[in-house]
Amino acid sequence: MNVSNGESPHPPYPIVKVKGLTVYQGSYLALRDVSFELLPGTNTAIVGPNGAGKSTLVRAILGLIPRASGQIEIAGRSLERLGSVRHQIGYVPQNFIFDRSFPICVWELVGLGWVKSSERKNFGFSILSSILPNSHKSAAIEKALRRVDAYHLRYQNLGTLSGGQLKRVLLAYCLVMPRRLLILDEAFAGVDIRGEAEFYSLLDELKREQNWTVLQVSHDLDMVNQCCDRVICLNQTIICTGKPEIALASPNLLATYGPTFSRYRHHHI
């Protein structure tokens, strides 16, 4: 006789697995023996002082920088064998550096996030990430821009955008097709408090509606406390990890940031 305890007999498989990750930048030890997992449909924040290795961790997960040791898997595949799974990763960097005189408009940039259906086969994803026909590309671009409140910018040249507008457009680039993993490196820098709150609300919708996994670097501890499921406190190595009410408790913040840490509170609206 089978007795159900209300839990799934097969726990969700981690979207991201990091084990024993160590990264050097020249002779400097940037990350030491970092290990954690991210489950589907979760929003995890990486917090820590400047120079703690937060952006280094993100870049290592994306395969943008080499690692000295350790293993990184995304959707069950090593970084070296991601193949088409790369199309399921969205990334908004801390600084998007480009030639502002380059003649590309918002609509064109967001369209670059669209991958042809022939390149997106056999992902093994849920029905929510079914591939739309290429004829729907324009509709997908419009929907993505409207969702980040940037549709009115669609014909504007990238070089004319403000920092906050550019972040919205980059997020639309990630939204133009289904993803499994969204990585944000200080993505809300340059965005006002109201816009930041709207972004967090959108991330929560994507997490619930499409089972997205979100990994973000953030300095806004109050917003992290309100909106994230888990927190990784990092300072070269993981100091602690857990639910916000645990990870952001004063003793853990003191261990992460040091004795000079002072928590600044936003007044969110």
Which domains are seen in the chain, by residue range?
16-121+128-257 (3.40.50.300)
Q: How many C-beta atoms lie closer than 10 Å to residue 264's C-beta?
A: 8
pLDDT at position 144, please?
94
Nearest to 58 by CA among 77, 30, 28: 30
pLDDT of 194 = 80
Which of 175, 200, 213, 176 is CA-nearest to residue 15? Answer: 213
Single out the residue of 174, 172, 176, 166 nearest to residue 140, CA to CA.
176
Low-confidence ranges of the chain (pLDDT < 50): 1-9, 117-132, 265-269
In 3D space, the residue among 58, 62, 92 whose CA is nearest the CA of residue 171 turns out to be: 92
What's residue 135's pLDDT? 64
Dihedral of CA 215/217/220/222: which sign? Answer: positive
Quote the CA–CA distance of 220 and 137 in Å, as a whole number: 35
Q: What is the pLDDT of residue 11?
A: 56
pTM of the full structure: 0.83
Q: Are 232 and 205 in contact (CB under 8 A)?
A: no
How would DSSP label each residue in 88-101? Answer: GEEEE-S-----TT
